[in-house]
Amino acid sequence: RRPNHDSTDECPKRKPKKKQNVSADGENQEEKVTSGSDSGLRVSSQVDEYEQDTSDEEDIRNTVGNIPMEWYKDYPHIGYDLDGKKIFKPIRNKDELDEFLDKMENPDYWRTIHDKMTGTDVCLSDEQVDLVHRLQQGKFGDVNFNEYEPAIDFFSNEVMIHPVTNRPADKRSFIPSLIEKEKVGKLVHAIKMGWIKPRRPKETAPQYYDLWAKEDPNAILGRHKMHIPAPKMRLPGHEESYNPPPEYLLTDEERQVWEQQDPDERKLSFLPQKYLSLRAVPAFSRFIQERFERCLDLYLCPRQRKMRVNVNPEDLIPKLPRPRDLQPFPTLQSLVYHGHSSLIRSISISPSGQWLVSGSDDCTVRFWEVCTTRCLKTMEVGGPVKSVAWNPAPSISLVAVSYGENVILVNPGLGDRLICSATDQLISSYEEPEEVKDQQVQWAVPEGKAQEQGQRLILTHPKAVKQVSWHGRGDYLACVMPDDGSSLQVVIHQVSRRRTQNPFHRNKGAVQCVSFHPSRPYFLVATQRYVRVYNLIKQELTKKLMANCKWISSMAVHPGGDNVICGSYDCRLAWFDLDLSTKPYKVLRHHKKALRGVAYHKHYPLFASGSDDGTVIVCHGMVYNVTACFCFSSLALSHISFYSVREWCVSIFSPQLFGLIDVYIANHIYSNLGCIVTITLPTLSSSQVRKASSSFALTLHCPKL
Amino acid sequence: MSQLQARFFTDNKKYVIDDVPFSIPAVSEITDLSNVINKLLEGKNGDHKHVEFDFLVQGQFLRSSLATHLETENISTEEVVEIEYVEKYTAPQPEECIMHDDWISSVEADSEWILTGSYDKTARIWSLEGKAVATVAGHTDVVKGVAWVKRDGLSSLLLTASLDQTVLLWEWSSERNKLRARHCCRGHAGSVDTISVDPTRSKFCSGSWDKMLKIWSAEMSEESNRPRKKQKTEQLGPTRTPLMTLSGHTEAVSSVLWMDTEELCSASWDHTIRLWDAETGSQKNMLTGSKVFNCISYSPLCHRLATGSTDRHVRLWDPRSKDGSLVLLSLTSHTGWVTAVRWSPSHEQQLISGSLDNLVKLWDTRSCKAPLYDLAAHEDKVLCADWTDCGLILSGGADNKLYTYRYSACLSDAGA
């Protein structure tokens, strides 16, 4: 049924699949189109579909193509047919009213559509409407098409006994692949060369770890393991009874007091009330609130285990180092230097350590050989000796001795002969300057016997000289003339030029003692309460150390230069660190009576203090470390000095045992953070020493804990 | 434990008894044991005279009752106790007390003469009987050390060291009693405290406060006829300079001695004992102690050093031990600085020590707890001690007295 093409034919579709028969009637035509299309879609149709339908015959009634048809709006025709003749628009005389009437009356109006290509109205057949509906619903246009036909797996997982194709196997499937061989060769080479590592066998053993191994029992989570029972509710008492005994009932006054009290302060949180019977008891009005508070208690109450600490107070005492570990320090009296017949006021040890000089009230100065206690030389001077000082310079052999208003410089003639003669030469080589300045101090050269004895220079001061102190280089000598009212209390002598200076023009209080700093150009002046540190180069006050005590008696500078200790008459020893502060680093109150002398050891961390109570306490002092002290007791003592070379300490014990100088090799007091352990060695005479080693008294003072 | 089994033995052939164990009371003391041995010996030969014995248990002298000794020494009483017995050492017999004018700083004696150095700036020569023979005067300061160099016939050479930094070499002819300073050894910059002559008697070594040891020749140089020089040093002889200076000590050398011809040993205040090679002057070994050493002595018999320290102990050292300093023994009984120690020249276990506590003690290294004898004659510090080959013990001190003691180890040897 090949559709005959008719130029006059009016087709409702723009692209119908053109199998309609020519028909005058639109509806019949539609039916035929539909049936024609049906047969065209039928796959299984035996009819050759291409017989009746060719695409080049598509909608050729109007040849204008796919253009907007409004272009022909103003023309009487609507296009051209195959023969080039105009297709004229059908005469449309319907107005709006006709349209409306048509809509109202024509039952097929809903299926009438306007064909733009031909300008005609086409009424759709039932099949066509049905088709439109199907397409609108997204279904296949063909009614008979089953879209859910059962699927047949052509290639399935089942192994077929027959090949799918009958094609014989390729030749290449029998020949080893060269490319693969090359690839394998490369891999084998790489394995041989070690570029590819064989795969490590997987560890088959399952890996477990203890999740709680690192659990800190003190951690927050760890605390949950520690079960602390919730605080128990108090059991109800008689006052909570519905019928409490009358003594539990509150009187009016008590009730008023209860009501005025803050709810937290009330002893009872409720008012005991009396009811005749249990039935008369009303419902507990605060039930919910009380439950809530109970829950809050359980949730919020701080739960912690209260540890009762049982500490032995003695355990809190810091551990003191054993005295054995702090050795060396003096422990025993070794030597006694007999000879002086009166109080010994001062001692000094030569820089080489071989000699000791002592000055006494019996107007003599004695020179001793340290190791044998032999008095090698005795020199008489014109008055009680107040102070002796051996020149610290090893190349100068001079001793300064002060008595009364005089200071004499003595060459003891001990030690190296060359040094002695060089010292003599140094002093005698002085030439009188041209212009003689008027000095407050008279320099004189002794004559005769005094010269023979070794006296080299006599310096006569206006006032009594209490202390002499050498500078480390040995050329300068400071003398102290304590006098509260004068500005002339300290003078500094330069021995080589025989010059005297008064470094201070103003009186800053009674000077007790002075000392040169061992390494820096400082000069330390101790007045009654302060130690002033002057810079000699800049001529200014560098520091003022507050000794924190009432009357300084003595002062010693550590050979390193950073520490200063001051002894005072009010039983204190103040230890300053010059780098730290002007306040004492530590104040030690070990002595029971006034301190008379303090001394530092040159090498070991030891310092000693001697006191009127007859003891010398040797302290082992390290900054940042404990202070352990040791004391040896004897009779009252006036001056102390550390033996420079060894761990020995030389002290003088005055009134009863006057005339003796003891070298001590001993000790015992410990102090640390307020606790003092005192081990006192009983007073010994030299013959008792051997028995004393077993008879120590031990006192332990602990701070209140 | 009232009885225990003991077997006695001795090295002395004269006193050998049968080697059988005896049952003896545990509380027995030396006298009881001594009586037992004497009884046994009397039973063996009739003409035995009573001899005091001393007893050693495992090399330690018995000084208390047997039971307490065994307990303290931790020796089992279950087994047979081996007890060695030796003839009791007799106490040194005091012989002479030689008075000096001043403290005695040093002493050295040989078989005929005693040489002492004193603080009165002289050294003196005495006969063994205590007769002053000669005075060696020449030093300008305290004499700190003396030594005999050699004695051939009637002329002798001797050395004196002094605080005046010199050592003088003297020639002394005992026949004419003429003394002449032959050489003045200058070189030290401090007091010379100690001198020691080497075994070949050709060199000597001096130790000084200036921390140096110096080796000098002790040979007599030929008289050079240089009148100018001679006049200048007429008094003290030509100046001699040291052959070698050994430096290494950091503080004063307190004592020096020759261990043999090649080896020197010095003790110092710097807590060390140093051994030196005398040929090359190099330091061979160092023993470090913890206290100042005042004196040192070496015994060629037992090859040990004995030192005296300021901490009152006498310590014995083995200088050959390589593993650091090894103190073999500490002998503790003194109560003052030990200033002198001297080994016995004939007995390898005995030594004497002198101390500032006025005592001289005679020690046996087998009883280190207590000395054999205390020689308490001095009234002041003991500063020096010596022990001669002929069994004479000498000690001098700050009481200006030189005491001599005759010491023979055993009574039976006394006549020999």
d(CA B312, CA B185): 34
Exposed e or buried b for every residue in B35-66, given b needs 16+ CB within 10 A? Answer: ebbbeebeeeeeeeeebbbbbbbeebbbbebb
Mutate which of B271, B291, B310 to test chain A, going by most A C-beta atoms within 10 A? B310
Residues of B in contact with A417 (CB under 8 A): 164-165
- What number is the ipTM of this complex? 0.85
Question: Mean pLDDT per segment of 10 residues, for chain B of length 416 residues?
Answer: 80 80 84 85 80 82 82 81 83 87 91 90 89 88 90 85 90 84 88 91 91 88 54 65 90 90 90 89 85 90 88 85 68 88 88 91 83 88 90 90 82 42
A582 has a chain B CB within 8 A of its CB: no
d(CA A260, CA A255): 9
Q: Nearest chain A Cα to B166, which residue?
A: A417
Of B190, B381, B398, the CB nearest to A415: B190
B336 has a chain A CB within 8 A of its CB: yes
* Residue A503 confidence class, pLDDT cut points 50, 70, 90: confident
Residues of A in contact with B193 (CB under 8 A): none
pTM of the model: 0.65
Reduced to 3 states (helix: H, G, I; strand: E, B; else coil), residue B332 is strand
Q: Which of A5, A9, A16, A54 is nearest to A131 (CA)?
A: A16
d(CA A369, CA A354): 6
Q: What is the pLDDT of residue A655?
A: 32
Statement: residue A468 has pLDDT above 60: yes
Per the prediction, chain A carries an average pLDDT of: 75
d(CA A109, CA A104): 8
Subunit contact B191:A374, Cβ cutoff 8 A: no
- Residues with Cβ within 8 Å of A319's Cβ and at least 6 positions away in sequence, in order, are none
Interior angle at CA A259, CA A256 and CA A261, nearest 5: 110
Residues of B in contact with A416 (CB under 8 A): 165, 189-190, 210
**Residues A221-240: what's their mean pLDDT?**
72
d(CA A406, CA A358): 17
Q: Which residue has the higher pLDDT, A7 or B30?
A: B30
List pLDDT tens digits, range A607-626: 888 887 777 777 777 654 44
Length of chain A in residues, anyone? Answer: 705
d(CA A469, CA A387): 9
Single-letter code of the amino acid located at B354: G
Asked if omega into A328 is within 30° of 0 (cis), the reply is yes
List pLDDT tens digits, range A632-658: 444 334 455 555 444 454 554 433 333
Residues of B in contact with A372 (CB under 8 A): 103, 105, 381, 383, 398
Q: What is the pLDDT of residue B402?
A: 92
Q: What is the pLDDT of residue A220?
A: 61
CB A629 within 8 A of CB A669: yes
**Residues A432-457: what's their mean pLDDT?**
81
> Tokens for A650?
């030389």
A415 has a chain B CB within 8 A of its CB: yes
List pLDDT tens digits, range A338-369: 888 888 888 888 888 888 888 888 888 999 88
Q: Which of A118-132, A207-221, A225-239, A634-648 shows the lowest per-residue confidence on average (mean pLDDT)?
A: A634-648
Subunit contact B310:A373, Cβ cutoff 8 A: no
Helix A26-41, helix A126-136: angle, nearest 10: 50
List pLDDT tens digits, range A36-89: 444 444 444 455 556 655 555 555 678 888 888 888 888 888 888 888 888 888
Subunit contact A417:B165, Cβ cutoff 8 A: yes
d(CA B213, CA B161): 13
A378 has a chain B CB within 8 A of its CB: no
Residues of A in contact with B164 (CB under 8 A): 417
Statement: residue A690 has pLDDT above 50: no
Q: What is the pLDDT of residue A644?
A: 43
B252 has a chain A CB within 8 A of its CB: yes
- Considering Cα of A13, then A18, then A22, then A25, what sign does the dihedral take? negative
- The CA distance from B222 to the nearest CA of chain A, in Å, is 29
Mutate which of B337, B361, B378 to test chain A, going by most A C-beta atoms within 10 A? B337
Statement: residue A183 has pLDDT above 90: yes
A376 has a chain B CB within 8 A of its CB: yes
Give how far Cα B53 sits from Cα of A414, B75, B94, B162, B416, Å.
54, 22, 22, 46, 19
